[in-house]
Chain A
Amino acid sequence: MIPISFNTVSGGYGSLNVVQDLSGEVEAGKVLCVVGRNGVGKSTLLKLLLGYLPCRSGEVTIGGRKAGSMAPEARRGLGISYCPQERPVFDDLSVSDNLALMVKDGRLDGYRRFFDLFPVLEKRLAQRAGTLSGGEKKLLSFTRGLAEHQPAVVLDEPTEGVQWENIQRMAEMINGRKAGGTAFIVVEQNLSFAELIADHYLVMDHGRCVLIGSCAEIGRADIVKHLTV
């Protein structure tokens, strides 16, 4: 069963299609990195996958089931976690409340491994999440998303503002999960990070796919060519 696949999806805001006829999929234990310049529709593609925007055409399948017009809160039940690029955490809540929110008994025991990896989070547990730095918010969001243990995880620019050593730890964590069969779709600007985790690339320009293939087929030079045009 394919954790996430999308077939000729189009959509956008108002009458404008930001994403046009895009297709792709990610298998269990694989990472699909979506790359492209700013404003080519990467985040919009994720919003179509998650149900924040309606697909004007095409079809999204999550965990083998057609998502149709399901709302985002319902798609989660199909087995997908999402860490958005903007406003990635609940600013008004404390860091610990951010993490405890969706844990049944409200305890943070399940986060032990993350706290060991990112000690800064444990230090800031009592702090209001809105007071964290941009990179710390991303770490918090990443932690929350991965701790949900869903078969598919969608990350939108997870490394924005994060220090390199923590980026490397994020990559380790993702690669560990890959081994356990989790599928990832990651929108990423940082190619060094992408190279650490990617199995497949989808390069976008003007809402369309300009290049798709495995990391064996697509080298850094091919991608850079599209990013700088």
Chain B
Amino acid sequence: MDPLIVTQILNILFGVTTLAMIALGLAITFGMLGVLNLAHGEFVMMGAFCALVVDRAGAPFVLAVPLALLVCGGVGLMVEMLLIRPLYRRPFDTLVATWGLSLLLRKLAEAGFGLGFNSVSVPLAGTATLFGADYPTYRLVLIVVCVAIIGALFAWYGTSRAGLKIRAMVGNPDLARALGMPVKRLATTTFVIGSCLAGLAGVMVAPLVPVHPYLGLDYVIKSFFVLVVGGLGSVLGVVAGTGVIGGLDSVMSAVFGSTQAYFTVLVVAILFLWLKPRGLFSHG
């Protein structure tokens, strides 16, 4: 096969898997808890800054992973206890609160690191040859890591006892409480997991993009499109949504151009909102 076509196929894979990784945390908090976290992008941004700190300290890049989990998990825990928990079942209030949180986190990043662009050096720089095509090694590794993380998470959710309890809690919270399940603790855990995933995604994209306080905005937009298409509150929806949005975006970019791709994604998102507002796989 023509190496350029192989490269474009890899590009599509890369686009879909990284988008899924970024949308996952948002989908989890929204699907499980009914909390639309407008600050999700800022958790991605915090993860990216963790990578920057590690890079500046000259430490190995992988150390950014525990740091980001610690920072984003910690902030997520505080946010859940202080901001989200009092507002469960008040979706509009949560929206406003997390929007305010996103402004605050951006300003904090600005105060700490300034507004300027920063760069994190690419680990595993260079290219690897795959089916005759040279592809950046780091991007190839990212595809594999994203698939592994998402696969592991789905397997855990679908088969483990903790996953079973979370599914029970999401599906029928009142009955779950009657069975003595600690729904509040599970909700906290779920939110923290969502925050950690966002931070992890931030670490992953940090070597690809300019690291700056506004970094999260770009990512959160496409993640919302994923939710719109995939449906609110379904795990399968994340996969379907990223498949449709990420796939369309990458295919259109590869075949036509970026403007056409962005236009198509917008139109599809609008059509879904209009004709299928509950998405492909909605809950109940």
| A and B directly contacting (CB within 8 A) | yes
A residues bordering B, Cβ < 8 Å? 50, 52, 71-74, 76-77, 81-84, 87-93, 97, 100-102, 106
Is B183 engaged at the interface, CB distance under 8 Å to the other chain?
yes
Minimum distance in angstroms from B178 CB to a CB of chain A? 4
In B167-206, which residues have CB < 8 Å from any A CB?
Answer: 167-168, 170-172, 174-184
Interface size class of B (residues with CB under 8 A): 10 to 19
Q: For A141, give the chain B residue with the smallest CB separation.
A: B175
B residues bordering A, Cβ < 8 Å? 161, 164-165, 167-168, 170-172, 174-184
Contact A89–B175 (Cβ < 8 Å):
yes
Q: How far is the CA of A93 from the CA of B181 in the complex (A)?
A: 16
Q: How far is the CA of A91 from the CA of B137 in the complex (A)?
A: 45
Knowing that A73-B180, A93-B164, A102-B180 touch, tell me 6 more A-B residue pairs with CB under 8 angstroms.
A50-B178, A71-B184, A73-B176, A81-B178, A90-B172, A92-B167
Q: How far is the CA of A181 from the CA of B60 in the complex (A)?
A: 64
Contact B171–A91 (Cβ < 8 Å):
yes
The 6 closest A-B pairs by CB, nearest first: A76-B180, A72-B177, A92-B171, A82-B178, A73-B177, A90-B168
Of B161, B179, B182, which is within 8 A of A106 by CB? B161
Contact A97–B171 (Cβ < 8 Å):
no
Which residues of A have CB within 8 Å of B175?
84, 87-90
Q: For B169, give the chain A residue with the smallest CB separation.
A: A90
Q: How far is the CA of A92 from the CA of B233 in the complex (A)?
A: 13
Which residues of B have CB within 8 Å of A81?
178
Q: How far is the CA of A102 from the CA of B180 in the complex (A)?
A: 9
Minimum distance in angstroms from A213 CB to a CB of chain B? 29
Contact B174–A97 (Cβ < 8 Å):
no
Contact A93–B161 (Cβ < 8 Å):
no
Contact A73–B174 (Cβ < 8 Å):
no
Contact B179–A71 (Cβ < 8 Å):
no
Which residues of B have CB within 8 Å of A50?
178
Q: For B185, give the chain A residue with the smallest CB separation.
A: A73
Q: How far is the CA of A97 from the CA of B172 in the complex (A)?
A: 14
Which residues of B have CB within 8 Å of A77?
180
Minimum distance in angstroms from B233 CB to a CB of chain A? 11
Q: How far is the CA of A2 from the CA of B176 in the complex (A)?
A: 26
Contact A73–B161 (Cβ < 8 Å):
no
Q: How far is the CA of A90 from the CA of B168 in the complex (A)?
A: 6
Which residues of B have CB within 8 Å of A74?
180
Q: How far is the CA of A74 from the CA of B179 in the complex (A)?
A: 10
Which residues of A have CB within 8 Å of B161?
106
Most chain-B Cβ atoms within 10 A of its Cβ — which of A50, A73, A83, A106? A73
Q: How far is the CA of A101 from the CA of B174 in the complex (A)?
A: 15
Contact B171–A73 (Cβ < 8 Å):
no
Q: How far is the CA of A72 from the CA of B180 in the complex (A)?
A: 7
Contact A101–B180 (Cβ < 8 Å):
no
Q: For B181, give the chain A residue with the smallest CB separation.
A: A73
Contact A52–B174 (Cβ < 8 Å):
yes
Which residues of B have CB within 8 Å of A84?
174-175, 178
Minimum distance in angstroms from B284 CB to a CB of chain A? 9
Contact A101–B177 (Cβ < 8 Å):
no
Which residues of A have CB within 8 Å of B164?
93, 97, 100-101
Q: For A51, give the chain B residue with the smallest CB separation.
A: B177
Q: For A130, give the chain B residue with the smallest CB separation.
A: B171
Minimum distance in angstroms from A70 CB to a CB of chain B? 11
Given A90-B171, A90-B172, A92-B171: A101 in contact with B165 (beta carbons within 8 A): yes
Given A92-B167, A93-B167: A73 in contact with B172 (beta carbons within 8 A): no
Given A93-B164, A101-B164, A106-B161: A71 in contact with B177 (beta carbons within 8 A): yes
Given A73-B182, A97-B164: A91 in contact with B177 (beta carbons within 8 A): no
Q: How far is the CA of A203 from the CA of B178 in the complex (A)?
A: 25
Q: How far is the CA of A29 from the CA of B264 in the complex (A)?
A: 68
Which residues of B have CB within 8 Å of A71?
177, 184
Contact B182–A101 (Cβ < 8 Å):
no
Which residues of B have CB within 8 Å of A101?
164-165, 168, 179
Which residues of A have CB within 8 Å of B180?
73-74, 76-77, 102
Q: For A83, give the chain B residue with the smallest CB separation.
A: B178
Contact A93–B165 (Cβ < 8 Å):
no
Q: For B171, give the chain A residue with the smallest CB separation.
A: A92
Minimum distance in angstroms from B95 CB to a CB of chain A? 25
Given A93-B164, A97-B164, A106-B161: A76 in contact with B171 (beta carbons within 8 A): no
9 residue pairs of the A-B complex, CB under 8 angstroms, read A72-B178, A83-B178, A84-B175, A84-B178, A89-B172, A97-B164, A100-B164, A101-B165, A102-B180
